[in-house]
Each structure stands twice: as structure tokens, then as C-alpha cells.
Structure 1
Amino acid sequence: MKNINKYLQEVDEHIKNKNYNDAFTLCNNILSINSNNIEAIFKAGYCSYKLKKYDISMMHFVRASLLEKFNINKAIYKYYIGRCYDCFGAYKEALEYFKNAYNLDNSNKYYTLWIGITYAKTAVNDIDYNNSLMYLSMSLGSEDYLVYGYIGFCHFQLGNYNKAITYLDKSVKLKDDDYLSRYYLGNAYFIIQLYDKALEHLSEAVKLKDDDFNNWFSLGLLNKVIDENTLSDECFEKARNIALNNDNIEESLNCFIKLADYQNDEYLNYLYLGICYAKLESYKDAMHYLLKSIDINNKYDNNYLAYHWIGYINYMDSEYEDAVKYLEKSVSLNSYNEENYMTFLWIGDCYFKLGNYKKASINLKKSLELKDDEPDAYKVMSELYLKMGMKDKYRHYRNKYKSLIKNDDTDMNDFYNKWNDYFQDNYYTIENSIFENEVLKQKAFENKIDIKKIYNNALGFCNECNEDIVLDESYYNAKKVDISYFINFLFQDINLNDLYNLYSYSTEKK
């Protein structure tokens, strides 16, 4: 017991200094001595949470919850299980655990705060937003900038823009470096046509986070409305570059749809829209927008990418003659691009399938000259020589292909074996029920355009306004925005607040 108390003191010191790995290791040492030490289990779960190992964190909190007798501590375990579910994006389960925590301890405002936040994140109608407002109003005194920020957000979605401004302004005064508070505050001013205020806050949002598409897009819309067309184009260009670098193709697609709607004379919007559709294998839509980008941009030296992707689509559709036509056009407009190795590979494969072995060989060799470790080029080349009856060359290219793909193979069994060894070395046995959870199994958002129309169609913000704002009828027919792209990041420091210091582990504290 003496050693355990010493270890627990060291754990506290490590946690105080944010040395969560060392603290976690010490917790495991304690659990090797006494596997039912609730304090060590709790702190191991907390350290796992801070290390973003949410599945491991949940297992510890579930274990602690089964052993704990005191409701105030059980509530904390439920709260952290809810936070883990929240990090997995399992908001339904998260809400259930936050409510469980609140039922066990209705004096803790963190629980009502997170119930309110989760309702706001998952809201699909006005009832959900009003539920969020009810719980958020009970949370003042916990993290007030978050409370005010989410209350403002809910009023924004309900169309209560003046109320939204009131609460978002309070949030900004408490924490002036939160870009999303500024973003919504700027958009609320934008909607009620107080453009100076809108410009102030949207500009500040861009300064605080200059890699966010929505910040630049809203600022571009605002500048377009106030006839600052040069600035508007610059903002749209920033937004386009951010969308272009987004690894999530569906999110990029939605961004380019917005840009194409409100900057419809820019061929790049249609080009990238077409590329997104091509990557999503929606070839009909892709072809439509790629051809539209070529139609808008008559400077053919800039259209090589459009021709490249049109050729690719025809190649995937086995339209080899059309594929060759467009792919060769692309190469002729951009002959110095090192990435042309794939274009030459596709051209070579097209000629091979069309029976023109000479041109197939020429283009495949060009591909290998640009990139000599592309397995598919060797594969097609081997098939070509086999067809031509040149067995020695067939074997040469076939062996090269096999050696390259062997080097690329990943042994997933090795990965799982290492993980299993790591788990067995570091964690005690826990109820199998935690592994049955589906979330854990699957773990692994005309020159001047009318302002109301912009917000109805471009941002799609909430259409019901309960305050005295005079808008035309089309405004009230707007659809609500899909906010899944950025709702998870609403108010930046949301994951910094925790209940570690509220945990009670002595009889006196309990």
C-alpha cells in the first residue's frame, strides 16, 4: 500500500506537468499490484484521454464505473465516457452518457454544458436547438465563453440574429481569439446588412484562422456585395486553394459547388468541380464541368488538366480512341510536367488495347523514363511483350513488376500482432462487452447579388426569423446549412476543459 500511495503521488506530479505517458505507465504499475485500485484506473483513463487514445480511455472509465460506489465520481466517469464518444463522432451515445452524469450529479455545470453542446451539434430542427438553449442556460459559470458562444450559435440557426449577435459578442469579449465566434458574429451582421460590423468580424476571423474555407468564402461574398470585386476575387482564390488542398473529396466538392455558384466566370471552379466528381467516379457530372471549364477558358495552354481528366474518364470507360485523343492533347499542352508518367502509361495502355503495339511501346517507355518505379507500367509492358511473343522481355518486365509490388505490400497481420502484444503487455482483462460496441469497431463537415439570396443559397442558413428583420419572402424559403464540416471545431479550446481536479479519492473529500 505504501508503494501504491507513492506511485499515485508521482502520477499526480506527472499529470500536473502534462507528462501523460509517464503517468499512464505508473498507473499500470499500480494496477499490476492491485488491479481494482479505482484511483489508478481513473487516472489511467484520464491520461489515455489526454493522449487521445479514446478507446483505451473508455475501457478504464467503464471499469472504474463498475467498481465505484460514490455517485459524484461515477458521474465523472460517465462524463469522460461521453467525451470519448464525442471524439468518435458518436453523438447519440455521448448525449446519453452526459445525461447519465447529470442525473448522478445535477450540481455540475459541465454536464449541462455538454448536453447543450451535443444537442447543438446534432440539431436537425428547432426543437433540438431549443433543447440546447435550455441546458446551456443552466451552464453559466462553467466555461462562459463556450456557453455564450453556443447560445449565440443556436440563435443564429434559429434565425434570431439580434439575439445571436448579443451572445456571440459576449463570447468574443471573454475570448477574442476564437475564430468561429467571430465567423458567426460576422455572418449575423452580414445577414442584417450591417456591413461594416460584418467586415470587422469576418476579417478578424480570417486573421485568426487563415486556412478555413468558410472564413474566406464569407469574406468573398461580403466584398462582392459591397462592390469590392477585386478583394472578392482574392478571397475566393484563397478559399479555392484551401478547398483544393482538402484531402476529403466530398468536402472539396461542396466547396467548389459554392464557388461555382457565386463566381461563375472562373473556369478553375468548374475544373476542380469536374476533378472532384471524377475522383468520386461520377463521370457524367465530371465530364459536364470539365467541358464547361474548357468552354469558359479559351486559352488552350491552360486547359491541359481538363483534357487530362477527360482522357482519364474515357480511359476508365474503355473509350480508348477518345481517351488517346484527350490525353495526347493534355501532354502536348504541358509536355514538361513530370507527372505525365501516368498520362503516358494510360496512352500506352490504350494503344495496346487498340492493337497498336508500336505506339504502345513508345508511350510506355516515356512513362518509365519519367518514373522508373511505377509497377503498372512494367505490368502493361510485360503484357505487351507477351502479346508480341518476346518472352525474354516479357519475363524481364514481369519480374520487375513483381519485385516492385512485393516492396509495396503491407503485412497487416504483423500490425495486428504487434497491437495485440502491446495490449497484453499494458492492460488488464476487462469486460468483453466494451469491445462489442459498434462505435469502437468502426472507429478507426449579375455583378451584385442580393444579400438575402446569397445567404439563402450559398450558406443556406436557418430560415425562421423571430425578430423584426424585414426580408423578402424568398428569404424565408431558404434551406438550412449543412454544418457538419466545421461543427466539430466550434470554439477552439473546447477540449481543454476537464474535470480531473474535481475527482475525489479520499473519504474526507467524498
Structure 2
Amino acid sequence: MKNIDKYLQDIDNYIHSSNYEDAFSLCNNILDNIDINNTEAIFKAGYCAYKLERYDIAMINFLKALSLDKSNINKAMYKYYMGRCYDIFNSLEDSLECFKSAYKLDKSNHYYALWLGITYAKIGANDYNYNLALLYLYKAFGIEDSLLYKYAGYCHMQLKSYSKAIEFLEKSMLLKKDDYLTRYYLGYTYFSVHIYDKALEHLSESLKLKDDEFNSWLSIGILYKIIDEEVLSEECLDKARNIALNYSDNIDYQLECFIKLSEAEENEYLNYLYLGICYAKLESYKNAVHYLLESIEINEKYSSDNNYLAYYWIGYINYIDSEYEEAVKYLEKSIKLNNDEENYLILFWLGDSYFRLSNYKKALVNLQKSLDLKEDEIETYKLIAKTYLELGDKDKYNEYITQYKILSRKENIKIIKNNDQLKR
């Protein structure tokens, strides 16, 4: 490979025809065999990796190009694409810094202003950020991009400038009809100005485009309630609640969802139940108990469902807080209501609570039930052994403590093997 300009032209041709794999390979051939520091090949390798959704590799190349290139125009471009990668990673603060740098280096490129505005809009949270977003979005006017009008509309929606929001969101929709968020923002804005037929139209279209979006189902559920379509409202809010339950890997967002649902449906005990569980998982136990008790009260007033799950979590919270008498009271209630699906953990907590209250016979009964459900649980053997020791039964103590030591040894061997495999 001697004629580097020819190969760079070939790379451009591959990129132009969206053949990013071959373009990426050719970039790496140049860097491996001709010039390891060729900034054009480095950047284009990063660009191809970006288009191929290999964002970590893209970032490595953009950073390397940034360290080698002296041109401010080029540096701005590298920073811009780094910002786009951070945006995909949802690392908005890092993304913002990159777009700021790109814009500072080259104010003539409208896309740098556009993405600076978009990022401020995504960070949002207060009027200052939305107004700052609009400042940069307005600087980007001149490019016909649906994102420009979408986020300008979104910022105006957040600032309650609803007529402006509708104007920009309608323009965005004309450029990109299949964007569910634009439709949702339009629906929400029309809802805010009480034009319910238009709101229903756009919210329904948003759900056709993406049917697992919590806010769309919530909004349309509230809208149906306002226009006295109670059955449809309940169906939509049930759908929103089931979607919220799927966010178990993002408890903060799940909590936000159930706060909104509890405000939309004041007499639905499930909203308060799951709100309490979210607070429990976040270790905000006072709030958790408040909403769990609220769910029990509402459920007993309006529903025939039992409260075993609320009692379960209140019992767990009291167990964690070393309030063993209260733990026993609520855990027993939970088991009584849900006897068909005994959980080895709840029986362990109950057994441990009785042990700490010196009720060793009840401790043994529950610990043995827990062991029957999960016979390899190490801590259960240990606690049963301690209970027999308190009762003065040394033979039983030796039997269970021996089993505890055997299982502990096996677990340690397994951990060592796993660590060895990771090292290899």
C-alpha cells in the first residue's frame, strides 16, 4: 500500500455508499501498514465505528485524532462526534462539554449549535436550561432538521409557551412523521390547552409508533378520565403501570412513574403499593412504610385483593430496622395471606426475628420450613445450629454446624475457581 491518497478516496467512496465495514478495514490497513498517525484515517475509522455502533472504538479514534491534529476546525469535528457518542451513552454532562468545545472552536457549523441546544433541552429541569437550549437552537435555524423543531417545541412546551410549542412541533412532524416523541409532545401540548380531540389524536399516534412508552399511556389514561371514558382510562393506566413495573433496573425512574400514577389514580392501591416498594428499595424506609400502609387502607376500602405484598415489605423493613416484634406481626400476616407461595427468605426473616426475641421453638419451625424450600442456604444452617445451642441440644447443634461448614467450604472453593477463570 503506497498511494495513501487513493486509499483515502476509496474510503470516501465506501462511506458514501454506506459500506462502513470495508471503509473501517481500509482505514486500519492504512494505520497498520502506512502511517500510524494519519489523522484523516484515524478520524474516518472513528466515524465508521460510530456508524457501525461500535462507540467505544469510535471514541478511542476521535481522542487519538484530537491529540494529533492542529486544526481547530478538525478538532471541533472530533469533539462533535465525541459528544454524539456520549449522547448515546446518555452521559449528558460529558456530551454537553464536547458540544461546547466544538461550538467554541467553530461557531459557523449549525450542527454544533443544534446539538448544544438539544443537550441543554435534555438536561432540562429548570427554565434557565430550557431558555439556554432555545438560544442555541435558534442559532441553528437555517438547517431543515426535524430535531431542531422538535426540541424547540419541547422547550416551549416546558416553558408553557404552548402556541410556540405547537408551531415548532407541527413543523417537526412534517419533516419526520414517524417520531413518537414529537407526537407525544404535541398530544401533551394540546392536552395542556384543553384541545382534547387533537390531544387524543396525537397521543394515539404516538402509541401506534411506540406502544411501550409509559408517559404516552399515562397521558392518554388521564385524558380519557377527563372526558368521562372511565373504562378506557382504567385500561390505559393499567398499561402504564405494567410498563412502569418493567423499569426494575432503574428504580429512580420507576419511583417517578408511580408518583405520577398515584396522582392520576388516587383510589388505586397498587400505585401506593409499588410506590412504597420503590422507596423500600431505595432504603427510604419511612416513606416506604407510609405508602405501604396507605395501600393497605385503600385496598381494604375499594378492593377484594389481599395485602400480602404490603405486609411482606413492611415486615422486611421492620426486620432490617431490628424492630423484631413488628417484623413478626407483619411477616406472619403476609404468610397467612399468601400461604400457597411460601418464600424461603420471608421464613428465614421470621425465624431470625423469633430467634432474636428468644422464642426458639417458633424460630426452629420457620427456619426448618425455609430450609425445606431452599436446602443449600448456608446462613439457615448456621442460624438453626445457634438455635439448637440456645435450647441446649448439642447433638443437633453439631449436626447443623457441620453442614454449615461443609457448604461454606464448597462455596469458598467455587469462588476461588471463578476468580481463577476470570484471571485466565
TM-score (norm 2): 0.86
Q: Does the CA contact (< 8 Å) of 1:246 and 1:252 recur in 2? A: yes
- 1:372 corresponds to which residue? 375
Q: Partner amino acid for 1:131? A: L
1:263-278 matched pairs, under 5 angstroms:
263-278=265-280
- Output the CA distance in 2 between the equivalents of 1:108 and 1:16: 24
SS at match of 1:193: coil
- Output the CA distance in 2 between the equivalents of 1:209 and 1:86: 21
The superposition leaves residues 138-193 of structure 1 with CA deviations (integer Å, 9 ceiling, x where unpaired) of: 43454521111111112112221011111111111221221111111011111111
- Output the CA distance in 2 between the equivalents of 1:240 and 1:347: 31
Q: Does the CA contact (< 8 Å) of 1:364 and 1:377 recur in 2? A: yes
Residue 343 (1) aligns with residue 327 (2): no
SS at match of 1:2: coil
- 2:32 corresponds to which residue? 32
Q: Partner amino acid for 1:332? A: K
CA distance 1:278–1:106, shift in 2 (3 Å): closer
Q: Does the CA contact (< 8 Å) of 1:270 and 1:293 recur in 2? A: yes
Residue 326 (1) aligns with residue 326 (2): no
CA distance 1:287–1:352, shift in 2 (3 Å): same
Q: Partner amino acid for 2:2? A: K
- Output the CA distance in 2 between the equivalents of 1:277 and 1:258: 14
Task: Extract unaligned runs of 5+ from structure 1.
Answer: 419-510
- Output the CA distance in 2 between the equivalents of 1:325 and 1:292: 18
- 1:352 corresponds to which residue? 355
- Which stretch of the first structure deviates more once superposed, 106-115 or 164-173? 106-115
- 2:193 corresponds to which residue? 192
- 1:204 corresponds to which residue? 205
- Output the CA distance in 2 between the equivalents of 1:175 and 1:207: 15
Residue 233 (1) aligns with residue 234 (2): yes
TM superposition shift of 1:79: 1.0
Instruction: Give the alignment's Cα RMSD to 1 decimal.
Output: 3.1
The superposition leaves residues 393-423 of structure 1 with CA deviations (integer Å, 9 ceiling, x where unpaired) of: 21113322442465468967976x68xxxxx
- 1:153 corresponds to which residue? 154
- 1:217 corresponds to which residue? 218
1:394-433 matched pairs, under 5 angstroms:
394-404=401-411, 407=414
- Output the CA distance in 1 between the equivalents of 2:74 and 2:290: 59
Q: Which has the higher contact order (CA 8 A, sep 6+)?
A: 1
TM superposition shift of 1:236: 1.3
CA distance 1:409–1:296, shift in 2 (3 Å): farther
Q: Does the CA contact (< 8 Å) of 1:375 and 1:404 recur in 2? A: no
- Output the CA distance in 1 between the equivalents of 2:78 and 2:417: 38
Matched residue count: 415
- Output the CA distance in 2 between the equivalents of 1:11 and 1:355: 78
- Output the CA distance in 1 between the equivalents of 2:186 and 2:83: 29
SS at match of 1:176: coil
CA distance 1:374–1:45, shift in 2 (3 Å): farther
CA distance 1:5–1:373, shift in 2 (3 Å): farther
Q: Partner amino acid for 1:357? A: Y
- Output the CA distance in 1 between the equivalents of 2:412 and 2:315: 26
Q: Partner amino acid for 2:316? A: Y
- Output the CA distance in 1 between the equivalents of 2:163 and 2:59: 41
Q: Does the CA contact (< 8 Å) of 1:15 and 1:23 recur in 2? A: no
- Which stretch of the first structure deviates more once superposed, 357-366 or 168-177? 357-366
- Output the CA distance in 1 between the equivalents of 2:57 and 2:309: 46
TM superposition shift of 1:104: 4.1
- 1:362 corresponds to which residue? 365
| Aligned-pair identity (%) | 58
1:5-16 matched pairs, under 5 angstroms:
9=10, 13=14
- 1:108 corresponds to which residue? 109
TM superposition shift of 1:60: 2.0
- Output the CA distance in 2 between the equivalents of 1:143 and 1:371: 62
Query: Relative to total residues, which structure has the larger helix share, 1 or 2?
Result: 2
- 2:285 corresponds to which residue? 283
Q: Partner amino acid for 2:136? A: Y
- Output the CA distance in 2 between the equivalents of 1:24 and 1:347: 60
Q: Partner amino acid for 2:117? A: G
The superposition leaves residues 280-321 of structure 1 with CA deviations (integer Å, 9 ceiling, x where unpaired) of: 122222112111211122267521111111111111111222
- Output the CA distance in 1 between the equivalents of 2:164 and 2:15: 44
TM superposition shift of 1:97: 2.9
2:253 to 251, 254, 265: 251
Q: Partner amino acid for 1:335? A: N
The superposition leaves residues 85-135 of structure 1 with CA deviations (integer Å, 9 ceiling, x where unpaired) of: 334545444334324333444443322211221222234554543332233
- Output the CA distance in 2 between the equivalents of 1:383 and 1:29: 67
SS at match of 2:339: coil
TM superposition shift of 1:46: 2.5
Q: Does the CA contact (< 8 Å) of 1:185 and 1:198 recur in 2? A: yes
- Output the CA distance in 2 between the equivalents of 1:194 and 1:218: 14
CA distance 1:344–1:257, shift in 2 (3 Å): same
Q: Does the CA contact (< 8 Å) of 1:376 and 1:401 recur in 2? A: no
- Which stretch of the first structure deviates more once superposed, 304-313 or 395-404? 395-404
Q: Partner amino acid for 2:306? A: N
- Output the CA distance in 2 between the equivalents of 1:366 and 1:311: 18
Residue 60 (1) aligns with residue 64 (2): no
